[in-house]
Amino acid sequence: MSISVEQKWLHEELNEAQRDAVLASEGPVLILAGAGSGKTRVLIYRIAYILANGLAEPREILAMTFTNKAAGEMRERVSRIIPGQMSGMWIGTFHSLYARLLRREGERLGYSANFTIYDENDQIALLKSICVELKIPAQEFSPRRLLHQISLAKNALQSPEQAAAAADTALEQTVARVYGVFQRRLREANAMDFDDLLIKPIELFQQFPLVKEYYQDRFHYILVDEYQDTNRAQYVSLNLFAGKHKNICVVGDDDQSIYRWRGAELRNILDFSADYPDCRKYRLEQNYRSVQNILSAAHSVVVNNRQRHDKKLWTDKADGDLVMITECSDEREEGRLILDRISREFRENDRRFYDFAVLYRTNAQSRVLEEALRAEGIPYVIVGGVKFYERKEVKDVLAYLRVLCNPNDGLNLKRIINTPVRGIGDATVAKIESWAREHGLALHQALSRAAEVPGLGKRAVASINRFVSLLKKYQALQSELSLQELSSTLIDEIGLLQQYKEEGTPESLSRADNVRELLLAVAEFTAMAGPDAGLEHFLQHVSLTTDIDVWDDRSNAVTLMTLHSAKGLEFPVVFITGLEEGLFPLSRSIIEPASLEEERRLFYVGATRAQEKLYLSWTRTRRRYGERPGNVISRFLKEIDSRLVDYVTTHPSAMPGRRRAEPCDQDMPSYEDESQETAEFHIGMRVAHPTFGPGTVLKIQSGYSQLKLIVLFDSYGEKRLVLPYAKLQIL
DNA sequence: TCCCACTTTCTTTTT
DNA sequence: GAAAGTGGGA
């Protein structure tokens, strides 16, 4: 195809490799784009190029991004290059775009358009009730573990029947059994979980070829960001979408794949050229983000991975400062270290608070850091962690809204039936539930016929009737009132705010605040989406909006978040904390090479967020599970080329209140220096137990007086053993 | 049915 | 050390 318009910006804004990738609009295209190499820019210009040359209408473009925030930015930047109408373009995350598709077409699969989206807590709650019903011992098969297995099966497009057929171990058999019931329950509730959002479009397309053809026809150009983190379901659905025009452009970096644990398959990107033999490949290897030392340090770690394509990013930036590694005595010291560096950066380099990001492996680490920043009065924002919409009081209100929107949602119905307390206890609910099941009714239907249910007291029936008429009333009001009016009247009527006020504890007051904030969020949503946006849209927005989507990168505050959340972002100064064996890399990952490599990629992702300064820290000891084990320096720190590193140890000063950091001339400490009393055992070691048989040591915890081992037994799962009593044999 | 005190588990990471 | 789960008593 000849290019009708040769835009000036193609030459001014892009380097040669980027421009080639943009111009290759037709056919399958794979763009291997290293960290900071401008892949977002390529995607944006690609869309702009397609539109500017009239190759497609906006509505014929489908662009998958990793976050809603990224989608919004992309849309905005495209419209700045190509002013004009952008409406009709499908740009968003897999989950939000597929939810849109399923609201339109899900009817064919037996879901009505008002389906509820279940988040992880809902999934767990549902699984728990299934486990109780099927009498599955929760100790042996924790709902969490079952959920993870089910989720992996779903994302691998395995049906419950296939899972049952393939099941060997007791765990797999249980998973398959629960999985089948789980799916049935979701459907009965007219609910989809996050995984269903990805797999139902595939079912739809497979069962309804005409629907498939419509969408295949419609989307002339498909663009996918972060392709290295797609799972099987995403992969299959993309191929279905691209089936006709085959103009599919995927962008990714195998070194930045960090979601294997939730089913992402690296082979999707590694095998793209096998799937599309005529595909064109482009490599973006010039990094525009980081100084050379940071880039080299990150590279010196990630080269230790075996599962990767060899490549090396380059930059024409200066070397920059050395990467600083600091050894701290404990996590509070680590917090102080960060304060210290921030104030120094302020003095020396004229920074703003938003120039800094503090990254960590687990959310639990944020607390100490938060305390340190607060004590010093430094503004900060935490991305992730306990999410607003997951707070109890917020979920309670949302549960009401969900039930109003979708009465079949039995899970949320059970949540609110006795919240606030109205005398409908567990026993009553259980009776109605089993009666409902006997008669093939949904819970809400049974509730309206409470008088017929045997064994219910008069008081209980009266309470239920009051509750049912409350719901009926608001269902009727739904069409008359605006979203805001509906929710605020409802909150008034159930007396939630008043109840919190009466309790008067700081905790309940903050709950009241959260409920008010939820009302604010409703107002904000209406302002953004327009008055026509229905309850189901608001609820979908709530389910699929993450912290990172609302994070404001220009607010004047230090950002705290997990390494995972930091993907795709950049900051002048980055701190990566908690670089200790067992924390980063996490102990569970150490025993499995593939997981360890993923941890290493996570380190790579974190390090390459930094533009100018990278501070890495580890602590000699850190509180975990209320205990305080000794730590060993992370292997990742040892893998960094020592010529790129400035190693510093902080010593608690004799004078209280004063701290200093002193350079330490010695080489970095090695594992051997850290000889623990646990010398006999180490993580990853194979052991045998008289009752549980063979297993692998997952974790070693040093308590105050005794040591605890966590061992993953081949046939008994995880057990915690107290060392002096566990008669373990080393294999 | 509800509330309080006690025990247990939990820490990966996220749409 | 917190949050959630368990069990006994009112």
A347 is catalytic: no
- Provide the pLDDT confidence category of residue A556 given band limits of 50, 70 and 90: confident
Q: DSSP string spanning A198-238?
A: HHHHHHHHHH-HHHHHHHHHH-SEEEESSGGG-BHHHHHHH
Output the distance from A403 CA to C6 C1' rounded to whole Å.
Answer: 29
Tens digit of pLDDT for each residue in A229-278? 999 999 999 999 999 999 999 999 999 999 998 889 988 998 899 999 99
pTM above 0.85, yes or no: yes
Of the residues A308, A609, A622, A699, only one is catalytic, namely: A609
Q: Strand B: which nucleotides have any atom within 7 A of a protein Cβ? A: 1-3, 9-15
Residues 629-688 of A with CB under 7 A from strand B: none
Residues in chain A: 731
Tens digit of pLDDT for each residue in A510-548? 788 888 889 998 998 998 888 888 898 999 998 998 888
Residue that is written with structure tokens 């004078």 in the block: A655
Q: DSSP string spanning A144-200?
A: HHHHHHHHHHHHTT--HHHHHHH--SHHHHHHHHHHHHHHHHHHHTTEEEHHHHHHH
A311 is catalytic: no
A696 is catalytic: no
Largest CA distance in chain A: 82
Tens digit of pLDDT for each residue in A662-709? 333 333 333 333 333 344 666 667 777 777 777 777 665 543 234 556
Q: Do the bridges between strand A686-689 and strand A729-730 make them parallel or antiparallel, or are there none, so unpaired? A: antiparallel
Q: Which of A183, A32, A223, A194 is nearest to A99 (CA)?
A: A194
State whether the beta carbon of A426 lies below 7 angstroms from any atom of strand B.
yes
A326 is catalytic: no
Output the distance from A71 CA to B5 C1' rounded to whole Å.
Answer: 50
Cα(A107)–Cα(A99) distance, integer angstroms: 13
Q: Cβ(A603)–Cβ(A576) under 8 Å?
A: yes
What is the Cα gyration radius of chain A? 28
Angle between helices A292-302 and A593-607 in degrees, nearest 10: 180
DSSP category for residue A420: S
- Residue whose CA lies closest to nucleotide B10 C1': A625
State whether the beta carbon of A428 lies below 7 angstroms from any atom of strand B.
yes
A39 is catalytic: yes
pLDDT at A6: 58
State whether the beta carbon of A488 lies below 7 angstroms from any atom of strand B.
no
